[in-house]
Structure 1
Amino acid sequence: MIFIENEGNTNPRLNLALEEYALRNFDPADDYLLFYINEPSIIIGRNQNTLEEINHQYVEENNIHVVRRVSGGGAVYHDYGNLNFSFITNHDGKSLNNFKKFTAPVIKVLQYLGLNAELKGRNDIQVDERKISGTAQFSTGKRMVSHGTLLFDTDLGQVVNALNVKMGKIESKGHKSVRSRVANISEYLKRTINIEEFRQLLLEGLYQESEPFKSYQLTPEEWRGVHLLKEEKYDTWDWNYGRSPKFNVQRTKRFPVGELDLRILVEKGLITDFKIYGDFFGKEPLESLENLFMGSRYEREDISALLTNIEIKEYFGDLPKKDFVELIYGPDEENTGP
């Protein structure tokens, strides 16, 4: 394992660019670990509709960064009390959506520090039923990144204020507020330490889990590549916000794999725009699936026919195809009992 030095950068756009640059350009023969701490920011999941996930006025008034990441899942709040970790490894065909594999060494260190930490749900690390970490993954096909947040001493009030949390998500988890579900790691530690000390303890624990361990500093040429990626992608409105499509059909449902939110524009019976949002985790980019429906009749038979040879699980995880068809068009009345 090689530890990448981010040289103390706290700009979220630069840190996400560094993570993606390492994923796509560093030696595939090695595994890498990256830590970074971000300035106050909201990090949006790859498939989310940014404007519907944030409290836009609050974000503007408080100068909070809004940046989209390459992985799926939901929006998260970062600040100086949040430590982010990222494992960059080869994709062996079995590791994608295997959150247990990559959270296990982190959980072991947290347990050593006295926390009753365990992986719960799809991708959360919890202590006594309170979330202290969320994780996500992204694959390029041959390489993958498994990254997550660690709430060490985050301003939890900002989490509530900056994010527009959808009622469906709250109700599905049986809680009345976000704040009641999250906690800071510092609350559970037996002695008071700051986030830099916590970072060092975590790093030392991970060293012991994966020996030998080396550190690496990027060359000036590599940093130029990171900054170029930041400028061309992570600094752009198109990447961070994207278009909000016109639509006259909206169909939303929460499945075990996450929430799917469809926006469909139907004109004269034909689908002229089709956009999928959500906090699910999938392997394949959604654009190819969305484009599949363009120009099709908005009819169950046509929609089902288009999906005949499509592996839906590649886009959303373990979601039955019939459930996706029903979400697009509604339940099949012929096959629905009284």
Structure 2
Amino acid sequence: MLLINNTSTNAYFNLAMEEYFLKNTTEDIFMLWRNESAIIVGKNQNTLSEINYEYVKENKIKVVRRQSGGGAVFHDLGNINFTFISCNDNSFSDFKRFTMPIIDALENLNIYAEFSGRNDLLIDNQKFSGNAQYNYKNKVMHHGTLLFSSQINDLSSALKVKPSKFQGKSVKSVKSRVTNISNHLEKNMTVLEFKDYLMNFINSKDKNNHSYELSKQDVNEINILVDEKYNTWQWNFGHSPKYALNNEIKYPGGNIELSLNVEKGLINEIKFFGDFFGKKDVTYIEDLLKNVKHNEISIKTTLSSMDINDYFLNCNIDTLVDGIMGAK
């Protein structure tokens, strides 16, 4: 098995790296990697309904869709991600098999973890790892999170969203009580020391294991995948299932209630209601926004040539756009 100790902390690159090796390897692979602050959403989720839009925008948190299903997770540098790619293997849904090496590695440190439910690892009934899988031809990719010293408050804030705003058929995330591995260690360890420990532990289990360093060609191909897919609005947001959003904007000029439908990432209908004043009819804006991408840049560009005050007295474009995006 090839062992890849990836040092990149760019979420776009790291998710692309998984797909690249899944589709281009003939050997089994084990990878360890970390991301700077990012929300990773499941393949079948509505991205906007999983994130706290204001918090993500303010803190410049990357939002990236992965290949596998399941719920949204928050990554930071206190979280370690592990990936197994198993070739000639169609054992999809055998989550326990791929998590046992992690459980064994923790037991070696006198930390007793257990597999629970569909895809979680627990310590003292608190979750520290969520797992997901994806099949490609005759291969299976299993990946999971390992909360080591993550900022739990950031995790909670980034994923907090008012569920009543969104209606649709996307898979919803399940919230759980969480813990960090570092809280259960007998001796202090940094996150990088633990990452090295885990890689060494996996390496020691099979004499045929050997390290692999990414080549220049690997990096170039992965970066192409980043540019064409993982760093695009279309993949991360536009790929969401069709959904409806209902929101209310409270501002000095009154209240604006809005309702919109989105399909394939495009607004196909939007309606404004409320006690606001305006000298021009808002149906003009409603018509203007049809078939516009449901993202901040596209909406601002569409509305930039008009005076929002003509339609919503004492409102500004930033307030209106944030509301259309689902912010409070």
TM norm. shorter chain > 0.5: yes
Aligned to 2:20, the other structure's residue is in SS state helix
Aligned to 1:301: none
Using a 3 Å threshold, how does the CA distance of structure 1 residues 151 and 166 change in structure 2: closer, same or farther?
Answer: farther
Q: What code does the residue aligned with 1:204 have?
A: N
Aligned to 2:212, the other structure's residue is in SS state strand
Does structure 2 conserve the Cα–Cα contact (< 8 Å) formed by 1:48 and 1:74? yes
Does structure 2 conserve the Cα–Cα contact (< 8 Å) formed by 1:105 and 1:209? no
Aligned to 1:3: 3
**In 2, distance between residues paired with 1:246 and 1:213?**
44
Q: What code does the residue aligned with 2:84 have?
A: F
- Structure 2 gaps, min length 5: 165-173, 245-260, 269-328
* Residue 97 (1) aligns with residue 93 (2): yes
Aligned to 1:241, the other structure's residue is in SS state helix
Aligned to 1:73, the other structure's residue is in SS state coil
Q: Structure 1, residues 187-221: CA drift from partner, whole Å, max 9, x if none?
A: 00011110110011111111122332211112211
Instruction: Using the aligned pairs only, state the percent identity.
Output: 45
Q: What code does the residue aligned with 1:16 have?
A: L
Task: State which of 64, 82, 94 in structure 2 corresponds to 1:67.
Answer: 64
Aligned to 2:21: 22
The alpha carbon displacement at 1:242 in A equals: 1.3
Aligned to 2:298: none
Does structure 2 conserve the Cα–Cα contact (< 8 Å) formed by 1:91 and 1:139? no
Aligned to 2:33: 36
Let me know the Cα RMSD of the aligned residues.
Answer: 2.5
Q: What code does the residue aligned with 1:43 have?
A: I
Using a 3 Å threshold, how does the CA distance of structure 1 residues 247 and 48 change in structure 2: closer, same or farther?
Answer: closer
The alpha carbon displacement at 1:141 in A equals: 1.8
Greater C-alpha Rg: 2
**In 2, distance between residues paired with 1:139 and 1:158?**
31
The within-5 A match list for 1:120-131 is: 120-131=116-127
Q: What code does the residue aligned with 2:54 have?
A: Q
Aligned to 2:302: none
- Structure 1 gaps, min length 5: 169-176, 249-262, 266-272, 274-338
* Residue 55 (1) aligns with residue 36 (2): no
Aligned to 2:296: none
Q: How many residues align?
A: 241
The alpha carbon displacement at 1:72 in A equals: 0.4
* Residue 214 (1) aligns with residue 210 (2): yes
**In 2, distance between residues paired with 1:31 and 1:166?**
41
**In 2, distance between residues paired with 1:211 and 1:2?**
11
Does structure 2 conserve the Cα–Cα contact (< 8 Å) formed by 1:52 and 1:164? no
Aligned to 1:182, the other structure's residue is in SS state coil
Task: State which of 218, 225, 244 in structure 1 corresponds to 2:221.
Answer: 225
* Residue 84 (1) aligns with residue 81 (2): yes
The within-5 A match list for 1:240-319 is: 240-242=236-238
Aligned to 1:154: 150
